[in-house]
Chain A
Amino acid sequence: MSLAVRVIPCLDVDNGRVVKGVNFVDLKDAGDPVTLAAAYDAQGADELVFLDITASSGDRATTYDVVSRTADQVFIPLTVGGGVRTVDDIDRLLRAGADKAGINTAAIARPEFLTEAANRFGSQCVVLSVDARRVQGDTQTPSGFEVTTHGGRVGTGIDAVAWAAEGASRGAGEILLNSMDADGTKDGFDTELIEQVRKVLNVPVIASGGAGRAQDFAPAVRAGADAVLAASVFHFGVLSIAEVKSELANSGLPVRR
């Protein structure tokens, strides 16, 4: 037996409320991240990711409150990303009950931030989130993928595969690899992107973007992902965590039951 493939639902949280429509039956308040987190835990989620999309940084007190109320009830690992810019941000998240912090834009602006975070809290707390897409127009990168910002709208010209590798060497203990091309398509994960990233680093990779059917997850794992993440298919009840795990197991991959 070996390490189980982790199946991870991601919740977008705005001002303490889950957004991106949630279609869970039998929940008193499906907009409450704590209620939803507990429901996913009961379904067999192996970890949870909260992405804080609260626009104003002044409103982050609600985020810490959501994190601490979740940690009081749900005893599986919790990663919180979105607007994490300083080691103090990470400290507050960990104290509230998060296990890992997702870092994205702040590391692009200042890559040393990853090292500072890893030195203070350990690499296992530091998740580098990479929003990657195929290069467009005149932009060229060695891998053919570039890092984007602003939810995939703005290209940076930075090679996404090289950036993932640099992030790991600077202290990130895990890469959350979001394919902005696949995101929202429900056509499956971008296995070419996953394969390229897997080749250049040896920290765990969470594949994200494109999940539409239960059969979509195994190819991402075969391409090199250690964990698979999805949002809308779970929120809308298109797929349950258990269905995804069944399909992974049918493909001969180890899962936690």
Chain B
Amino acid sequence: MGSVDVVVLDYGSGNLRSAQRALERVGASVEVTRDYQRALGAQALVVPGVGAYAACMAGLNAVNGPQLIDVRLAGGRPVLGICVGMQVLFEHGVEHGVDTPGFGQWPGVVDELQAPIVPHMGWNNVNPPADSVLFEGLAQERFYFVHSFAARSWDLDTSESSTASPLLTWATHGEPFLAAVENGPLCATQFHPEKSGDAGLALLRNWLNSLD
């Protein structure tokens, strides 16, 4: 397999270096950029995200993020959202009473996780479906989470659809929430694969291998 050409979208959010280095470690050729055409044309796009939902959306809007994702997905070109980069794929996010529209690729809301200790910070188990591509060989591994908000329900009804339903991976902290979604070219993880040691690197490798 040749090196996969990956763009990590730089829209002013946090630690991008780790995402870049982790992807490079598993063989990708990575560019960190905010350039729209470059992000549009790349073989794969990673949308990272840390901090507040509203701040991330403001940053993403400033780089034409919603259109970028729409056009990529219309062409079947892969996108991986990480942490808040997953959360913004839902319809909206509610943090501290601030309700912010998201990309709306999936219906539903991201809001506060109901748990005794928040943020949910540390290494937790996940429950991937048997046919998951991202978690192939990794179902027993722990991944590194750090977040206070989450998608606590899945509201897209695909039961009448003839196409494959999205693969949902759940985790539990106080209550169940979505740890990952695999939906055709659009994948997302609530945890940080780039901070999840060997398990995280293996998950990124699984993702890259699925793009060939």
> Which residues of A pack against B, CB within 8 Å?
1-4, 6, 41, 46, 68, 71-73, 75-77, 94-99, 119-125, 173-174, 202-204, 226-227, 256
Nearest CB of B to A136, in Å? 32
Bound complex: CA A98 to CA B195 (Å): 11
- What are 9 A-B interface contacts by the 8 Å CB criterion? A46-B123, A71-B21, A75-B197, A76-B144, A94-B14, A97-B18, A99-B195, A121-B14, A174-B121
Chain B residues contacting A68 (CB-CB under 8 Å) are 17
Q: Which of A4, A76, A77, A203 contacts B124 (CB 8 A)?
A: A4
Bound complex: CA A95 to CA B14 (Å): 7
Contact indicator B124/A3 (Cβ below 8 Å): yes
Bound complex: CA A47 to CA B74 (Å): 39
Contact indicator B148/A123 (Cβ below 8 Å): yes
Chain A residue with Cβ nearest B196: A75
Chain B residues contacting A6 (CB-CB under 8 Å) are 122-123
B52 adjacent to chain A (CB < 8 Å): yes
Interface size bucket, B side?
35 or more
B74-132 interface with A by 8 A CB criterion: 116-125
Known contacts A96-B17, A203-B119; 18 additional CB pairs below 8 A are: A2-B125, A2-B172, A3-B120, A6-B122, A73-B21, A75-B21, A75-B198, A75-B201, A95-B17, A97-B18, A97-B21, A121-B50, A122-B14, A122-B50, A122-B55, A202-B116, A203-B118, A204-B119
Chain B residue with Cβ nearest A174: B121
Chain A residue with Cβ nearest B83: A124
Nearest CB of B to A45, in Å? 9
Chain B residues contacting A2 (CB-CB under 8 Å) are 124-125, 172-173
B146 adjacent to chain A (CB < 8 Å): yes
Nearest CB of A to B125, in Å? 4
Known A-B contacts A72-B21, A94-B14; A124 and B146 likewise in contact (beta carbons under 8 Å): yes
Contact indicator A124/B148 (Cβ below 8 Å): yes
Known A-B contacts A2-B124, A46-B123, A125-B14; A77 and B118 likewise in contact (beta carbons under 8 Å): no
Chain B residue with Cβ nearest A74: B197
Chain B residues contacting A4 (CB-CB under 8 Å) are 122-124, 142
Chain A residue with Cβ nearest B115: A202
Contact indicator B121/A124 (Cβ below 8 Å): yes
